[in-house]
Amino acid sequence: MTRILSLFTNEYDLARAVQRQDPKAQTRLYEKFASKMLAVCNRYVGDKMEAEDVMIEGFMKIFDKIDQFTFQGSFEGWVRRIMINEALMYVRGKKMIAVDLEYAIEEPNDAAFSTDLEAEDLMRLIEQLPEGYRMVFNLYAIEGYNHQEIGELLGISEGTSKSQLSRARAILQTKLMKLEKSVI
């Protein structure tokens, strides 16, 4: 393993090796990004087992489309976008994006939250969100997409994206307050 790690110190070198369909480089790519990409996929899919499948499919897609990488910008960012798209396609394929407007609650306030919460706790909170809210919140709050891009990605309007984000925040705020109370 360490030998393989030492072979590809640079992201671009690794990308070039993957372009040559080098099996060692492909394995190295998996080892380098699997944990991070599994977390990404899990945030969208909401189930770790399914997220692993999505991630593996995402890696296969990366190997197929590696020639499209232009060596401009972050290779990790390119890999991450492919993983997100794969996860979104998976969720769409399962028709999980059912926006339940009735589920929405009032706007959350700007109350501060404890930073002592672990990432796994936050992941669980996201997993509990309805699919539509989860998608929009992940894309906007964590990945940094704007509402127009989210609308294009999910096939919804900007207004729908904004309202879903608002409601996702409200749900999370409520759950975070409950979580903090239980911790205290």
Give the DSSP letter string of 122-181. Answer: HHHHHHTS-HHHHHHHIIIIIS---HHHHHHHHT--HHHHHHHHHHHHHHHHHHHHHHHH
Query: Residue 136's closest CA among 161, 157, 156?
Result: 161
Q: Six-digit token pair at 114?
A: 């404890």
Nearer to another protein, 49 or 184 (CB): 49
Among 97, 139, 172, 179, binds another protein (CB under 8 A): 172
The yes or no reply on residue 48 touching another protein (CB under 8 A) is yes
* Helical axes 23-45 vs 48-65, angle rounded to 10°: 140
Question: Alpha-carbon distance 3 to 166, whole Å?
Answer: 48
Among 15, 26, 46, 154, binds another protein (CB under 8 A): 26
Among 7, 19, 56, 61, binds another protein (CB under 8 A): 56
The yes or no reply on residue 142 touching another protein (CB under 8 A) is yes
Nearer to another protein, 49 or 71 (CB): 49
Using DSSP, state whether 130 is helix, strand or coil.
coil
The residues of the shown chain that bind another protein, judged by CB under 8 A, are 21, 23, 26-27, 30, 34-36, 38-39, 42-43, 48, 51-53, 55-56, 59-60, 63, 108, 110-113, 115, 117-119, 122-123, 126, 137, 140-142, 144, 169, 172-173, 176
